[in-house]
Amino acid sequence: MGVRERERPVGIFDSGVGGLTVTREVMRNIPEERIVYFGDTARVPYGSKSKETILRYSRQIVRFLLTQDVKAIVVACNTASAFALEEIRHELPVPIIGVVRPGAKVACAATKNNRIGVIGTKGTIASGLYTELIRQIKPDAEVIGKACPLFVPLVEEGMMKDTVTEEVARRYLAGLQEQDIDTLILGCTHYPLLRSMIGKIMGEGVTLVNPAYETACSLRTLLIQEGLQNTEPLAEGENPHRFYVSDAPESLIGFANSILPVNIENVQKINIEEY
């Protein structure tokens, strides 16, 4: 594999801005990689849409990312990972990973009592994919899913520490608290931003699994295995990352700069329906 191949960027996509939590972990854990990020801000949220629609959206986004010469793709959206990943994997000339499998693996390793909770969008929970993957690893595991649809808009409104968000979280998590789970997967890319609040509500006896971090670790392993890891440090003054959205670039800029370790000034809007 030539140096040029290894210096190509990694593509990361999400239904909106939540996948920036995955981008943040990639930047922290594999800092020499360049990133092309696409947020489908015109068509967010994915959590309430049908499998057919999410598959169509995901194919369009992947086609766009391939025009950006990416060497690997991360589906940084739990709903798209659940509904589209396996179908599109064999259609692609580059390796692709999602956020569900890495989170499921870590949860299985973390649980002591085999009772694992999953919170996510309606689509992710209804797909049953976390349950399926957890059972493949731990056939006797009990998986308790809970959809938390209001978390995404609350996070995107910047209300991560608001009392309203805490009240909503307490209502959503009340049922899970009664289920004696010892591990909880934050099964939506927005949810790590509510991690401290969720941890406070669930208590110290519950291990929180952040699939964003685990996905970054899985990506590093994948790049090494495929001989695609960039070994050259990024050039001084280079702007190594590119950000694209399907609508409202300013909303991504604000959110990105509140959570990413680098400053983002330029986000380009594209017409994703053309792909």
Residues of each annotated binding site for substrate: 14-15, 46-47, 78-79, 189-190
36: helix, strand or coil: strand
Q: Which residues are annotated as a binding site?
A: 14-15, 46-47, 78-79, 189-190
In the residue annotation, 188 being an active-site residue is answered as yes
Q: Give the span between the Cα atoms of 163 and 130, in whole angstroms.
A: 30
Q: CA gyration radius for the chain?
A: 18
Q: Tokens 């793709």 sit at which residue?
A: 73
Give the end-to-end CA distance of the chain in Å, rounded to a whole number: 29
Indicate the burial class of 89 (C-beta count within 10 angstroms; 0-12, 13-18, 19 or more). Answer: middle
3-state DSSP of 155-224: HHCCCCCCHHHHHHHHHHHHHHHCCCCCEEEECCCCHHHHHHHHHHHHCCCCEEECHHHHHHHHHHHHHH
Count of beta carbons in the 10 Å neighbourhood of residue 45: 21
Count of beta carbons in the 10 Å neighbourhood of residue 231: 8
In the residue annotation, 77 being an active-site residue is answered as yes
Q: Give the span between the Cα atoms of 63 and 223, in whole angstroms.
A: 20
Omega before 31 cis (within 30°)?
Answer: no
Amino acid at 143: V
What would the two tokens of residue 34 be?
A: 């360049």
The set of residues, in sequence order, having a beta carbon less than 8 Å from that of 234 and lying 6+ positions away, is 31, 32, 34, 240
Residues with catalytic annotation? 77, 188
